[in-house]
């Protein structure tokens, strides 16, 4: 995790330190994979940095609770997958702890921003085939990465 959540009921800063190892992409048999753990997925810069680093698949485990805006999370990841032309697989926790009920609802988004698999609210295993040629096809169709203007983005790193 690079970004650590701190909000009522979620005192993650008590348990975790923010990571500083950058946005690593790992070469796997499935293709180049990056991680956006939990709160990291809410930062478009995180997903973009993984994409620039070569990721074609981004895995995002998280622990969203019942009452969280699950549709908003889906829309957020659909937008990130679309603008970066990557697959994003979000795996949400299920079950209960004292005072917390986890919502489940894991899902996979394709490079066109479409949800191609979705789990229910209970424990479930999603097994899907992905076509990595869709990454290149979508990047060619919408060349957002090619047309970036990083020389103008300094404001993103200013305090």
Can you list the domains of the chain with their CATH numbers?
A: 31-156 (3.60.110.10)
Note the pTM of the prediction, 2 decimals: 0.91
Q: Is-contact 82 110, C-beta < 8 A?
A: no
For 60, which DSSP code?
E
Q: Is-contact 138 112, C-beta < 8 A?
A: yes
Residue 3: pLDDT band by 50, 70, 90 thresholds?
Answer: confident
Those residues whose C-beta lies under 8 Å from the C-beta of residue 57, and which sit 6 or more positions away, are 30, 31, 32, 33, 34, 86, 87, 88, 89, 130
**102-142 pLDDT, tens per residue?**
999 999 999 999 999 999 999 999 999 999 999 999 999 99
**60-76 pLDDT, tens per residue?**
999 888 888 789 999 99
Those residues whose C-beta lies under 8 Å from the C-beta of residue 117, and which sit 6 or more positions away, are 107, 108, 126, 128
- The candidate with the shortest Cα–Cα distance to 136, out of 104, 111, 100, 107, is 111
């Amino acid at each position: 995790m690079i970004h650590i959540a701190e909000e009522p009921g979620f005192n993650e800063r008590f348990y975790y330190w923010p990571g500083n190892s950058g946005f690593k992409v790992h070469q796997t048999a499935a293709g180049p994979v990056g991680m956006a753990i939990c709160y990291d997925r809410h930062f478009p810069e995180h997903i973009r940095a993984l994409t620039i680093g070569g990721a074609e698949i981004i895995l995002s485990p998280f622990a969203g609770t019942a009452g969280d805006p699950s549709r908003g999370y889906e829309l957020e990841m659909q937008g990130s997958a679309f603008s970066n032309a990557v697959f994003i697989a979000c795996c949400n926790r299920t079950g209960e702890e004292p005072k917390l009920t986890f919502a489940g609802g894991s899902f996979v988004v394709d490079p066109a921003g479409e949800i191609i698999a979705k789990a229910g609210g209970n424990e479930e295993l999603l097994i899907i085939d992905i076509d990595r040629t869709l990454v290149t096809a979508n990047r060619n169709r919408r060349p957002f990465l090619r047309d970036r203007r990083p020389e103008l983005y300094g404001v993103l790193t200013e305090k």
